[in-house]
Chains A and B, each alone.
Chain A
Amino acid sequence: MSVLVVLEQRGGKWNRMSFEALTAGQKIAQIFGVPLQAAVIGSGIESLAKEAAGYGASKVFAVDHELLAKYTPDGYTAALEQLIKAANPKAVIFPHTYQVRDFAPKLATRFSNALISDVVEIKDDAGKAAFVRQLFQGKLSCDVQAAGEPAFVSVQAGAFRGAEAAANESGPVEAFAPQIEASQIRSKPEEPFREAQRSVDLGAAEFIVSVGRGIKEKDNLPVVEALASALGAELAASRPICDNGWLPMERQVGSSGQTVAPKVYFAVGISGAIQHLVGMKGSKTVVAINKDENAPIFETADYGVVGDLFEVVPALVDEIKKAKA
Chain B
Amino acid sequence: MKFIVSVKQVPARDSSLRVSSDGKWLDESDITYEMNEPDAYALEEALQLKEKLGGEVVVLCAGPARAAQTIREALAKGADRAIHVQIEETGTLDALATARLLAKAVQAEAADLILTGLQSDDLGYGQTGVILAELLGYAHATIVMEVEPQGNTVRVKRELEDGWFQNVLLPLPAVVTVQSGIKKLRYATLMGIKKAKTKEVKTVAAAQLGGDKTPGSVMANIYMPQRSKQTQMLSGDAKQVAQQLVEKLKFEARVL
Listed in ascending order, the chain A residues whose CB lies under 8 Å from chain B are: 73-74, 97-98, 101-103, 105-106, 108-110, 112-118, 130, 133-148, 186-195, 198, 239-240, 243-244, 255-259, 263-264, 284-285, 287-288, 292, 294, 296, 298-308, 311-312, 314-316, 318-320, 322-324
In the complex, which residues of chain A have a beta carbon less than 8 angstroms from the beta carbon of B217? Answer: 113-114, 116, 144-147
Cβ of B94: which chain A residues have Cβ within 8 Å of it? 114
The answer, among A146, A147, A264, for a CB contact under 8 Å with B255, is A264
Q: Does B152 contact A (CB under 8 A)?
A: no
With beta carbons under 8 angstroms apart, the residue of A118, A257, A287 that contacts B124 is: A118
A102 touches which of B142, B219, B221, B229 (Cβ 8 Å): B142
List residues of chain B with CB within 8 A of the CB of A263. 255
B121: min CB distance to chain A, Å = 7
Among B96, B124, B165, B219, contact of A192 (Cβ-Cβ < 8 Å): B165
Closest to A138 in B: B225
Contacts of B135 in A (CB 8 A): 109
With A98-B159, A109-B134, A114-B215 given, is the CB distance from A192 to B238 under 8 Å?
Answer: no
Q: Who on chain A is nearest to B19 by CB? A: A140
Query: Residue on B with the closest CB to A116?
Result: B217
Task: Give every chain A residue within 8 A of B163 (Cβ-Cβ).
Answer: 194-195, 198, 256-258
- Decide yes or no: A287 and B246 within 8 Å by CB, A137-B121, A143-B221, A193-B164 being known contacts: no
A239 vs B143: C-alpha distance in the bound complex, in angstroms? 14
Q: Which residues of B contact A239 (CB under 8 A)?
A: 180-181
Q: Is the CB of A307 within 8 A of B133?
A: no
On whether A136 and B233 interact (CB within 8 A), knowing A98-B143, A110-B134, the answer reads no
Q: Please tell me if B228 contacts chain A, counting CB pairs below 8 Å.
A: yes
Decide if A300 touches B216 in the complex (CB within 8 Å).
Answer: no
CA distance A143 to B222 in the complex (A): 7
Interface status of B170 (Cβ within 8 A of chain A)? yes
CB within 8 Å of A: which B97-148 residues: 99, 118, 121-127, 130-131, 133-135, 139-143
Interface CB pairs A-B, < 8 A, 14: A73-B130, A109-B131, A118-B126, A135-B122, A144-B219, A147-B215, A186-B171, A189-B168, A257-B163, A299-B225, A303-B248, A303-B249, A307-B238, A315-B242
Chain A contact residues, majority secondary structure:
mixed
Contact A114 B96 (CB under 8 A): yes
A316 touches which one: B142, B212, B220, B245 (CB < 8 A)?
A: B245
CA distance A140 to B94 in the complex (A): 16
Given contacts A101-B126, A109-B134, contact A307 B241 (CB under 8 A): yes
Known contacts A140-B225, A302-B253; decide if A147 and B216 are in contact (CB<8 Å): yes
Please state if A142 and B224 are interface contacts (CB–CB under 8 Å): no
- The residues of A that contact B96 with a CB separation of less than 8 Å are 108-109, 112-114
Q: Is B52 an interface residue (CB 8 A)?
A: no
Q: Is B218 an interface residue (CB 8 A)?
A: yes
A158 CB to nearest B CB, Å: 13
With known contacts A105-B130, A118-B124, A311-B238, A285–B255 Cβ distance under 8 A: yes
Q: How far is the CB of B218 from chain A (nearest CB, A)?
A: 5
Contacts of B226 in A (CB 8 A): 141
How far is the CB of B237 from the nearest CB of chain A, in Å? 8
Does B17 interact with chain A (Cβ within 8 Å)? yes
List 7 A-B pairs, minimum CB-CB distance, nearest first: A114-B216, A243-B181, A105-B127, A315-B242, A315-B238, A114-B96, A105-B130
Instruction: Please measure, in the bound complex, the distance between the C-alpha atom of A93 and the C-alpha atom of B151, giving whole angstroms.
Output: 39
Chain A CB within 8 A of B21 CB: no
Q: B160 interface residue, CB < 8 Å from A?
A: yes
The answer on a CB contact under 8 Å between B168 and A190 is: yes
Instruction: List B contacts of A74 (CB < 8 A).
Output: 139
Q: Which residues of B contact A304 (CB under 8 A)?
A: 231-234
Once the chains bind, are A136 and B17 in contact (CB under 8 Å)? Answer: yes
The answer on a CB contact under 8 Å between A98 and B161 is: yes
Interchain CA distance A298-B220 in the complex, whole Å:
26
Is B202 among interface residues, defined by CB-CB distance under 8 A? Answer: no
What does the 1/0 interface line of B19-37 toward A look like (CB < 8 Å)? Answer: 1000000000000000000
CA distance A140 to B181 in the complex (A): 24
A84–B229 alpha-carbon span in the complex (Å): 38
The residue from A240, A257, A305 contacting B234, defined by CB atoms under 8 A apart: A305
B203 within 8 Å of A (CB atoms): no
**Pair B231/A299 contact, Cβ less than 8 Å:** yes
- B224 in contact with A130 (CB, 8 Å): no
Q: Which residues of B sit under 8 angstroms from A97, Cβ to Cβ?
A: 161
Query: Quick check: A285 and B249 within 8 Å, CB to CB?
Result: yes
Given contacts A130-B220, A140-B17, A284-B255, 20 further A-B contacts (CB under 8 A): A105-B130, A108-B96, A113-B216, A114-B131, A116-B217, A133-B124, A144-B220, A148-B216, A187-B139, A187-B170, A188-B169, A192-B160, A194-B165, A195-B163, A239-B181, A243-B181, A284-B253, A288-B231, A302-B253, A323-B256
